[in-house]
Amino acid sequence: MRRFILFTYLLILSAVTNAQLSFYKEPYRPQFHFTPPINWMNDPNGLVYLDGEYHLFYQYNPMGIRWGHMSWGHAISKDLIHWEHLPVAIAEEKDTMIFSGSCVVDSFNTSGFAKEKGQVPMVAVYTGHIEGKNQSQHIAYSLDKGRTWTKYEHNPVLDLGKKDFRDPKVFWYAPQNKWVMAVMWPVEKQVQFYQSKNLKQWELMSRFGPAGDTTGIWECPDLLQVPIEGEPGKTKWVFMHSPAPYMQYFVGEFDGTRFTNENPSQKIYRPDYGPDYYAAITYNNLPANQPPLTIGWANNWNYAQDIPTLPWRSMTSLPKTLSVKKINGEWILIQKPVKQLESLRTAHQSWTSIKTKGAYKIPAGGQSIELTLTLTPAANSTSGIRIAKGNNHYFEIGYDAATNSVYVDRSRAGETGFSAAFARMNRYEATLGSRTKQISLHIFFDRSIVEVFANNGEAVLTTQLFPSPNNTGMELFSNSAGVVFNKVEFWKIKPAW
C-alpha cells in the first residue's frame, strides 16, 4: 500500500509540474479562480502568510475526482491571483485522513520545533479522521516555509474520544500571549474555545451555540477581529462557520475566553446568500496594515460530487477583504474582492444613462468577465442584467424593488441534468439592509461561477453554472420604463494561469 501511495504522489507531482502547460483549457475550467490541476478538492485549509507568500492548503483527494483519501493539497501565491501548485503537503497515512484545519507561524517558537537559529516553524493544526470511529486534533510542522512537513510524534494533541469533533481554527491572541483554538462539535451544533501556550497542550475555556441556523451540522469555525467601516482603529469580533450546506456569522466581542454575540440571536446572517459558498476561513499572520482576507469553497454538498467537470472537481471563491458596518442597528459583514484582481482587466467598455422596458442588448460579452452596474430602480420594479446569454439560455442577476432584494437565477443558465438537486436549487436572494436611491452590483463571471457583490459588499451571492461556451451575450432588463441604468462598466479578464 505504501508503494502504491508513493507512486500515486509521484504521478500527482508530475501533473502539478506540467499543469500550466497541459491543463486549464477544459470546458467550464475557471480562468481566474483557483482550481487544482486534477482530482477532487473541497475546504480551504491553513490559510497563512509568510515572507511574501500566501499559502493555500485545501482538502484534496490525490487518488480521484470524488471525495476520499483526504490530504492537504498546497499552492502558494505572491498576489492571491497567480498560484503555483506544490506537491501534497500533509498526506493521509494508514487509517487516518487529514481533515480541515488551520496553520500558524510560530514566531516565538512556543512549540519548540525550531532547533537552529533563524528557523521559524509553521505549524498546521488539523483533524485526524478515522472513518466512523474518531476525530481528534493533530499538529504537523515545517521548518522550510511550508515545503516539507513533519507530523508531531505525540499526536493527537486534543482527543475527546468523539466521532465528530473537527476543523480547528487556531490564532495567536496577543493580549494574553496565548494560542486560541475554535473547534466544532458538529452534531451538538456548538463551537468550543481552547487555549494553549505551546500548541501541544490545550485547555477548554468556553462554548458558544447552538444559535442562529441549526438546521445542519456545524463545521469549519473561524474567529477573527475585523475593522469597522468608517471608524479607523475600531474593531469587532466575527465568529463565522458552516451549518451545512451554507454559512452563517455572528458579530460581537471576544475577551480572550468567551465570544458574545451582539446581533439579534434569532436572526440568521450569512456571508454569502448564493448556493455555492462553504467552509470559508481567513488568513493568519497577515501584515499589520492588511485587512482580513477570506477564501471559501465554491460548491454545495448536495451536488458537489456530480458537477460536470474533468479532470478536476471544485474551486475556491475569489479572495475577499472583510469589515463590518452597522446598518439599521445590526452588524453586517462587508466583503469586497481583493484589489489585485484589477491587474487582470482588459478590453474596457462602458455605457451610461440607459432606460428600457424589456431587454437592452449590450454590445460586449464573454465568459471570463467583470462588470459593475449602477441602477436607479422604479417603485415595485424588477431589473438587472442577464449574462451567459444565447440560444434562449441566460443567467439572471436582478434587483426586486418591492422586496428590496438582490437575486440570482440559474434556472435557464445551462446544463443541469447531472443532478436533480442542482436543477432544483436555482434561485437565491438576499434582502438588503437599507434602501438606497441607487443599487450597485459588482459581478465576476468565470466560465462556471458567478460572484455578485451588492451595494459595496453588503450582500454577496456565489453561484455555479454550466453554460454552453457559445453563450457569451449580455442584456439589461427591466419591467418598468422608469428604471435607469446609470452606468455599466465591462472588462474582459485575462487568465491567471
Calpha distance 385→395 (Å, rounded): 8
Beta strands 312-313; 39-50: pairing state:
parallel
Calpha distance 165→159 (Å, rounded): 9
Report the helix count and the strand count for the chain, using DSSP H and E.
3, 33
| Residue 452, C-alpha cell as written in the block | 455578485
Element (H, E) at 6: helix 2-17
| Residue 55, C-alpha cell as written in the block | 499559502
| Residue 217, C-alpha cell as written in the block | 451540522
Calpha distance 96→140 (Å, rounded): 14
375, 483 in Cβ contact below 8 A? Answer: yes
Calpha distance 406→429 (Å, rounded): 5
Query: How distant is the alpha carbon of residue 145 from its chain centre?
Result: 23
Length of the chain: 497
Residues with catalytic roles: 43
What phi and psi values does residue 300 have, to the nearest 5 degrees? -145, 130
Cβ-count burial 7-30 (b if 16+ within 10 Å, e if not): ebbeebeebbeebeeebbeeebbb
User: Which one, of 434, 447, 474, 464, lies nearest residue 326 by Cα?
Assistant: 434
Q: What DSSP assignment string belongs to 355-410? A: E-SEEEEES---SEEEEEEEEEPPTT-EEEEEEEEETTEEEEEEEETTTTEEEEE-
Beta strands 459-464; 97-105: pairing state:
unpaired
CA geometry: angle at 242 spanning 87 and 328, to 5°? 130
What residue ranges in 147-284 does DSSP mark as E strands? 150-151, 166-173, 178-185, 190-196, 203-208, 218-227, 235-243, 248-254, 259-261, 278-282
